[in-house]
Structure 1
Amino acid sequence: MRAFILNPTYRVVGGRPEVHLYASLETGEPCLIVDDRVRPYFFVREADAKTVNRMASHVVLESGELRTFAGEPVARVSSALPGDVPRLRRRLEESGVECLEADIRFAYRYLIDRGIRGALEVEGPHEYQESVGRVYRNPVLRPAHWVPRLKVLSIDLETSLDGRRLYSMALHGAGFSRVLIVHDRALEGAESLPSEAALIRRFLELLRDLDPDIITGWNVVDFDLTVTARAARRCGLRLAVGRTDDEFEARRETSYGAESRAIVYGRLVLDALSLMRGAFIRLQDYRLETAAQALLGRCKLLAGDHRAEEIERLYRDDPQRLVEYNLEDARLVTEILERTGLIDLAVQRSLLTGMPLDRVSAAIASVDSLYLGALRQRAIVAPSVSGASREAQITGGYVMDAQPGLYKNVLVFDFKSLYPSIIRTFNLDPLTLVWEPAQDSLVAPNGARFRRDVRGILPDLVASLAGEREKARKAGQPVKAHAIKILMNSLYGVLGSGASRLFFPQVANAITHFGQLLIRTAAEFAAREGYRVLYGDTDSLFVDSALADPERALSVAEQLRSRIGEAVGGFVRERFGCESCLELEFEKMYRRFFLPEVRGGKIGSKKRYAGLLVEAGGNERLEFVGLESVRRDWSDVSKRFQNGLLDLVFHDQAVEDFVRGFVAGLRAGRFDRELV
């Protein structure tokens, strides 16, 4: 029987730790997998084993064939309970004993050791427990790849202006659509209830009946559920929204980002707002109103600065309208998630990394999960994440001086997944990093040296992911392809983060220095071929085609792409003795392109430009980077002006009348609402 893991956790029962995996079965039933056969463990260097025995006689020490990154033999230290490990680690490290892999959570260690990522196959007898579903005790588990169809319920809460009174709660999804409202009138599409307590009880009753795998909403953890939990405590109730009797808890963990996580068991609470940010979907801001307009072309039924006061008025004077507004908000969240495929994306990211759905955006933990499993296959253990603050200077990507001006038919070339491709091409990895000069080592532009005779884990991971991404694209699986792209792009970042166990700034700087070298090499070749490179940024080149005819410019683009790519590959082969995995793509052509000057100067401004794209079917689109039109700290009226002005400039039309008319309109107050 296949299952998808919703919550990996543990409990101590009768003095013994039990791994608890709450999951959804392929039959649609919930289940709980319990395993009490494992104990928490970490590692120390074998040379420190006597010290550990002296300081902690209650632990079990076992020698084996595992070694550190530096090749030193290690001993495994097993304790009775997961809660023992942090205290023991602290005592040992205060005595000068380094503890390795001592920070890995007990349930996550269980999954990593078994190669389980997101989905599994469970085999064994089971019993049935109300609400939790099937319960398997000490079953046989095997890794599996299975994409579940999870039941999703969107909720939205409306309250008094001060947030101290619950007015209504909308529920939409899982085949249900209704509003619960504290009111004495019968209302269409709603259940009227006599009190807050009655509303909360009915909500919990519906949760049990509908039995969703996922509860979602917009800011659902920090507002909807937190405010409901506060009201429940006032009413002497417990807000248990999972499939267990555990009370809802919002926990803010800085390592996962600014938003809180909901601690519930048996189902998940996924904030649609967090999913949006975690998938790098860019919006002007992350209000529900903005997301609905941008993604659905729809508006909330109430919007603006006085929305809270209007909700108060509706509750008092027009509760039917409040019901409609409340339900529409819950419906908008459901439709946004369906339109963007964000739940599906989270599932694919979970299957790739093993992270639960509410942690798939934790880049460091995601890479950790993959890297630790690969390390163990090589009989190597990793350091623990340091509790101390660690920082290092990491060089950024190469940004060329821009050539300010207005241009026609500018070709944009882009190195596909530049940093992952550099990792793969030059075999860059913490395992291959050498600290002293070695025979036949590769010397990176920053001076770091890397072994050629040992294949790194990150290069193999990039190769595997790149192959899977290509398969997904060919199979028409854009969500999976996007999930792989996000993971590949996070590999470089963990090497330069002090919060990562893979904090190796020498490797991170090797990657960025290679990137600088390669983009300069590409630009120099284009210049030797007689083309003017107008701008370059990290992995992209903007080249003036010098052709007035867009069709001729497009025909040149593919030839130039091929020649630049071959030149870079030849450079890599000749200077470093490596076969290039770099791939240069022709990304797009700007019919018109504008690079502004630095204010008050004559040099080009970096990371600021605008271009006119002509898409299939002849549709035109203005694209802005770094200019006022896409910056949140500029007013809407400035964006309106810049868009209108550049549209005229790009079409070779006079701008004087537009400027005069705009200034007159501004003075007349026609744009007052857009000034702030």
Structure 2
Amino acid sequence: MSGMVEDEWLWGWDATPGIVSVWAEPDGRASIWRRIPGTGELVREDVRFRPWLVLSTLEDLDHLGARLKPEREGYVPGRVTFQELSGPGALRFLIRAEDGRALASDVLQGVSRRLGRPYSNLRDLSPGMVLSLPPEEQYLTASGRTYFRGLGFDELHRLQFDLETTGLDPGRDRIFLIALRGPQGEPEVLEAHGEGDAAEADLLRRFVERVRVLDPDVIENHNLHGFDLPFVARRAKLLNVSLPLGRAGGPGLRHRPSARGSALGRGAERSADPMRRARFTVPGREFIDTMDAVLRHDFAVRDLPGHGLKAVARHFGIAGPAREYIPGARVHEVFQTDPERVRRYARDDVGEAEGLARLLGGAAFALARMAPRRYERLADAGAATGVLDPLLVRAYLRAGAALPAHEEGDGTSHSGAALHLFATGVARRVVKADVASLYPSLMREYRIGPKRDRLGALLSMVDRLTDQRLAAKKRARAAAPGSSERHENEALSAAMKLVVNSAYGYLGASGLTRFSDVHAANEVTRRGRAVLALLCRELARRGVTLLEADTDGVYFAVPEDWREEDERRVVAEVAALLPQRVQLEFDGRYAAMLSHEPKNYALQAYDGTLLLKGVAFRSSRAEPFGEAFLRRAVRCLLAGDLAAVRDVYVSTVMALRRRQVPTTEVAAHVRLTKDSAQYGALRERRRELPYEAMLAAGRKSWGSGEHIRVYRAVGGRAGLLPEPEPDDIGSTSSEAGNEPRDYDVEYYVRLLKETFAARLVRGLTPLDFSTVFDDPGQPSLFTPSLADAKPILTVVAEPPEDEAPEDSRADESPGGP
């Protein structure tokens, strides 16, 4: 395959620079806004394109008669044309027309006749019958254009805005202040001049006018689609205010389907409104919610203390030393007496949103240079179905090749990835050896691709992206720290890694991706297990103590007299024994590690930094007081000071018994999985604390998916706390002033020992565990001394044996070119 063709598959073929937004209509009209690289001038192009779809048969268009012609005969007004695509794919007829709505109607009419039942929407047809994309994706796929060619991230005109409201219910609460940060970086604050409908309506109109004047390409905020836009839309509707936030006028906010959308409303209102699971969109601008980038980052790294703006900004060092903090429930109250403090708070919010968008948004920006989708859709898309599938569809249509339909598997199960736990407890002098993109590397090494990908497009893309990612990493390292060049190349590398690493998941997603192939995925997994077994055996032969290994890499402890050069030498020796494209790299060294369960561990760096990994140590549902205890206790355990662990436990128990722990710290943040009707039907058989808390608080109706904070009160009662501020869900807040301290003390003392202290059990002998976590309220006359007690490490498994080869598969490729 020529490099030019592969680059067209990845990047498109139309070099038009500076596209910042595309808006297309089903009738074949498209508007393209471009920012000229270098000058920053904004231009708009209005063009016509021919809407298209791909069908499995022409039979459903037979009723068009002479209006249906082969594409080679040319296009004339009113004609529908078809092109038969080559190869064995089920979707093999590319149909074009001048109006997409009319074309869809023609297809639905034919399908209804053929199948003898009415169909009113293409979405109701099976994916084996039709491929239909949104108008913007039709335009980008057919034209070969992509966003942002020749533009750097800093050349985008970006605006951040944030609302301050009197409460969380847009049906009754008001917007009293809106902070903005325009493309030039200057924050400003708009305020309601009064408290009635007229004042709030005037505020919304001024907000719309400022957006029009500042004219951003992108509008950003944290939880933008979960709070700000839905709240603005609801208030504007109630106040009869139009919201022409786009560049093309017309109606205000439009909807697009999304897996994650608004989370507003309560009870029946929440569950009955289908638009609660939609996102907003407008012509000419892109809405970017930084929550998406945060969730994507935390899924990969698992290092965030929460997902709220303030927690994440502190974690990444974006928050300034003078940052203003006000509990969310008190913002309006504070505004009545100290409005300038709230203005500072709001300006800080939009400043942090800008910093977070710049820090984490580069990957989505880079993906928009590749995939034929709107930038805002790529920001919240999964890498497999949201990025790889559009790339593959474009590649096949560019090649004139028929596309396979989504197919269910043949019943073969997807074999799991290799995961080994070799030792539990406390280890010292720990090294992490990273296996860089193991599964994509094995796909490349042994040419394992999906059987139905007759063009070999997936493997070609993985090859090309891997090579180009290495070049981007090299350019990033050579660029000056903090420079736009470094930021751009780091983002490009991250985007390419995201796509490359999703290729294996794409293979194994039977029925969900167009080219899924569970047999190819299982072959990749088999070879992955063999590689992991080899490197574990070779490391063990060199005198290390294996701790844990999976497809991401291996943790092991080294002898006491080893230096860093010895650690690096051993990793290099083992790396030389692996298949050519499988890269094993020295990834870090740590003073100590608590190994609890597979992928659940604590690491302490030589500089004292503590990293907690896995749901055993970090969970959004965990009570904050327990996680705070764990952090303190783990530090002491890794330092080898069991007496200090005892002190942390005793102080926590005593703080609970004296009710010095705020109720917010014992409350769990839970998501309701049953609505009020479902729970009512089950309540007599089984009562559950979260739902009992809702009923005890007077809530008679609610919808599934609602998040609440619940705790166990004295007497076994269920207690409910107010929801945290919308942008700080997942982080703790300082609302302890007015809360009741009526929690069940002894329940939480038991929880401390049986749930949180239990995370340390692997690092202690049974006697030491009993001693450390003995109830301080019931002292024993014969308590053993902890003066000489030390943490333990227990070997629980030996390195795996190599897998026997299966027939001749070592020399065969199950798919690909």
| TM-score bin, normalised by smaller chain | 0.7 to 0.9
Alignment of structure 1 residues 124-139 onto 2, 5 Å: none
Q: 1:478 to 1:3 in 2, by over 3 A?
A: same
Alignment of structure 1 residues 25-64 onto 2, 5 Å: 25-26=36-37, 27-44=39-56, 48-49=57-58, 51-52=59-60, 54-57=62-65, 58-62=67-71
Distance 2:33 2:260 in 1: 21
**1:418 counterpart letter in structure 2:** L
Q: Which residue of 2 aligns with 1:68?
A: 87
Q: 1:108 to 1:184 in 2, by over 3 A?
A: closer
Q: Which residue of 2 aligns with 1:402?
A: 422
Per-residue CA distance 1:237-259 (angstroms, 9 max, x = gap): 31010111133335352457787
Distance 2:103 2:586 in 1: 52
Q: 1:392 to 1:24 in 2, by over 3 A?
A: farther
**1:179 counterpart letter in structure 2:** V
Q: Tell me how large the CA RMSD over aligned residues is.
A: 3.4
Q: 1:25 to 1:529 in 2, by over 3 A?
A: same
Q: Which residue of 2 aligns with 1:668?
A: 658
Distance 2:94 2:353 in 1: 48
Q: 1:145 to 1:291 in 2, by over 3 A?
A: closer
Are residues 1:566 and 2:587 paired? no
Q: 1:53 to 1:374 in 2, by over 3 A?
A: closer
Q: Say if 2:363 and 2:491, in contact at 8 Å, map to a contact too.
A: yes
**2:578 counterpart letter in structure 1:** V
Q: 1:429 to 1:145 in 2, by over 3 A?
A: farther
Q: Say if 1:41 and 1:79, in contact at 8 Å, map to a contact too.
A: no
1:7 CA drift (Å): 3.4
Per-residue CA distance 1:573-621 (angstroms, 9 max, x = gap): xxxxxxx31111121223222223xxxxxxxx3222222222xxxx222
**2:583 counterpart letter in structure 1:** E
Are residues 1:380 and 2:401 paired? yes
Please, which moves more after superposition, 59-68 or 513-522? 59-68
Distance 2:624 2:208 in 1: 43
1:109 to 132, 138, 143: 138
Distance 1:167 1:391 in 2: 57
Alignment of structure 1 residues 327-476 onto 2, 5 Å: 327-338=347-358, 340=359, 342-360=360-378, 361-362=380-381, 363=383, 364-376=385-397, 378-384=399-405, 393-431=413-451, 456-476=456-476
Distance 2:248 2:518 in 1: 44
2:165 to 159, 163, 167: 159
1:480 to 492, 513, 517: 492
1:667 CA drift (Å): 3.3
Q: Which residue of 1 aligns with 2:23?
A: 9
Distance 2:409 2:280 in 1: 27
Q: Which residue of 1 aligns with 2:30?
A: 19
Q: Which residue of 1 aligns with 2:619?
A: 631
Q: Which residue of 2 aligns with 1:512?
A: 525
**1:486 counterpart letter in structure 2:** L
Distance 2:426 2:157 in 1: 52
Q: Say if 1:65 and 1:73, in contact at 8 Å, map to a contact too.
A: no
Q: Say if 1:409 and 1:589, in contact at 8 Å, map to a contact too.
A: yes
1:398 CA drift (Å): 0.9
Per-residue CA distance 1:142-195 (angstroms, 9 max, x = gap): xx676661111111112222433221111123234221111359xxxxxx9971
**1:515 counterpart letter in structure 2:** G
1:427 CA drift (Å): 1.3
Distance 1:80 1:274 in 2: 36
Q: Gaps (5+ residues) in structure 2?
A: 1-14, 72-81, 116-125, 263-276, 477-488, 668-817
Alignment of structure 1 residues 243-322 onto 2, 5 Å: 243-249=247-253, 251=255, 253-254=257-258, 260-280=278-298, 282-295=303-316, 296-298=318-320, 301-304=324-327, 307-308=328-329, 310-322=330-342
Higher strand proportion: 1
**2:21 counterpart letter in structure 1:** N
**1:301 counterpart letter in structure 2:** E
Q: Say if 1:515 and 1:539, in contact at 8 Å, map to a contact too.
A: no
Distance 1:671 1:556 in 2: 47
Q: Which residue of 2 aligns with 1:495?
A: 507
**1:419 counterpart letter in structure 2:** Y
1:613 to 605, 613, 636: 605
Distance 1:366 1:456 in 2: 17
Per-residue CA distance 1:185-234 (angstroms, 9 max, x = gap): 9xxxxxx9971222122112212211111112222234223322333333
1:428 CA drift (Å): 2.0
Q: Say if 1:418 and 1:582, in contact at 8 Å, map to a contact too.
A: yes
Please, which moves more after superposition, 659-668 or 485-494? 659-668
Q: 1:420 to 1:98 in 2, by over 3 A?
A: closer
Are residues 1:523 and 2:542 paired? no
1:80 CA drift (Å): 4.0
Q: Which residue of 1 aligns with 2:594?
A: 594
1:177 to 187, 195, 203: 187
Alignment of structure 1 residues 149-228 onto 2, 5 Å: 149-161=155-167, 162-163=169-170, 164-175=173-184, 176-183=186-193, 195-228=199-232
Per-residue CA distance 1:244-298 (angstroms, 9 max, x = gap): 1133335352457787432201112212222322444752322222123222245
Per-residue CA distance 1:387-413 (angstroms, 9 max, x = gap): x99997433311113322322223322
Distance 1:380 1:30 in 2: 37
1:487 CA drift (Å): 1.8
**1:380 counterpart letter in structure 2:** A
Distance 1:84 1:286 in 2: 44
Q: Say if 1:345 and 1:480, in contact at 8 Å, map to a contact too.
A: yes
Per-residue CA distance 1:415-457 (angstroms, 9 max, x = gap): 1011211221121222467xxxxxxxxxxxxxxxxxxxx8722
Per-residue CA distance 1:12-58 (angstroms, 9 max, x = gap): 6xxx52233333333323333333253424244xxx54x34534434
Per-residue CA distance 1:109-158 (angstroms, 9 max, x = gap): 332233322245xxxxxxxxxxxxxxxxxxxxxxx676661111111112
1:356 CA drift (Å): 2.2
**1:523 counterpart letter in structure 2:** C
SS of the equivalent of 1:67 reads coil
Distance 1:111 1:83 in 2: 18
Q: 1:620 to 1:319 in 2, by over 3 A?
A: closer
Q: 1:486 to 1:393 in 2, by over 3 A?
A: same
Distance 2:291 2:592 in 1: 36
Distance 1:568 1:427 in 2: 16
Per-residue CA distance 1:73-123 (angstroms, 9 max, x = gap): 944333442224555555666758986762233432332233322245xxx
Q: Say if 1:59 and 1:78, in contact at 8 Å, map to a contact too.
A: no
Q: Which residue of 2 aligns with 1:135?
A: none
TM-score when normalising by structure 1 = 0.78
**2:174 counterpart letter in structure 1:** R
Report runs of 4+ in structure 1 exceeding 6 Å deviation.
91-94, 256-259, 388-392
Distance 2:576 2:639 in 1: 36
Distance 1:224 1:392 in 2: 45
Q: 1:625 to 1:222 in 2, by over 3 A?
A: closer
**With CA pairs under 8 Å and 6+ residues apart, which has the higher RCO, 1 or 2?**
2
Q: Say if 1:410 and 1:592, in contact at 8 Å, map to a contact too.
A: yes
Q: 1:466 to 1:145 in 2, by over 3 A?
A: farther
Distance 1:207 1:64 in 2: 44
